[in-house]
Amino acid sequence: MLYRRREQVALRRVAGAHLLVPLTTAEQAVYTLTRTGARLWQQLECEASATTLATKLQKEYTGLTLESAQRDVDHFLAEMVALGLVAVMPEGTA
């Protein structure tokens, strides 16, 4: 599976916090991301697999194992998909 952030969601940095702001929803929700979540969000500008994201994350953070990075990425993606902020597409359709 490939993941990509939805275009109707903006990342804003306010007072040191990383905020996701849906631009087209009637629901007035704002979501706060950790620094790692914000980095993953930036990497979802283009389609990426969970494995690719985990590998990049593991390379960026000293001491982070690939297994731990994969768990973090899987959790992040599941949450973002459930909130409707990230789109999922089967590989080969991009």
Residue 20 lies in a domain: yes
pLDDT of residue 71: 97
Q: Is the pTM of this model over 0.75?
A: yes
pLDDT of residue 25: 63
Whether the Cβ atoms of residue 10 and residue 57 lie closer than 8 Å to each other: no
Residue 8 lies in a domain: yes
**Domain span at 21:** 2-85
Residue 91 lies in a domain: no
Residue 92 lies in a domain: no
Residue 14 lies in a domain: yes
Residue 9 lies in a domain: yes
pLDDT of residue 26: 63
Number of independent structural domains in the chain: 1
* pLDDT tens for the 94 residues of the chain, in order: 999 999 889 999 999 999 999 887 666 789 999 999 999 999 999 999 999 999 999 999 989 999 999 999 999 999 999 999 999 988 765 5
Residue 53 lies in a domain: yes
**57 SS3 class:** helix
Residue 71 lies in a domain: yes
Handedness of CA 49, 22, 33, 42 (dihedral sign): positive
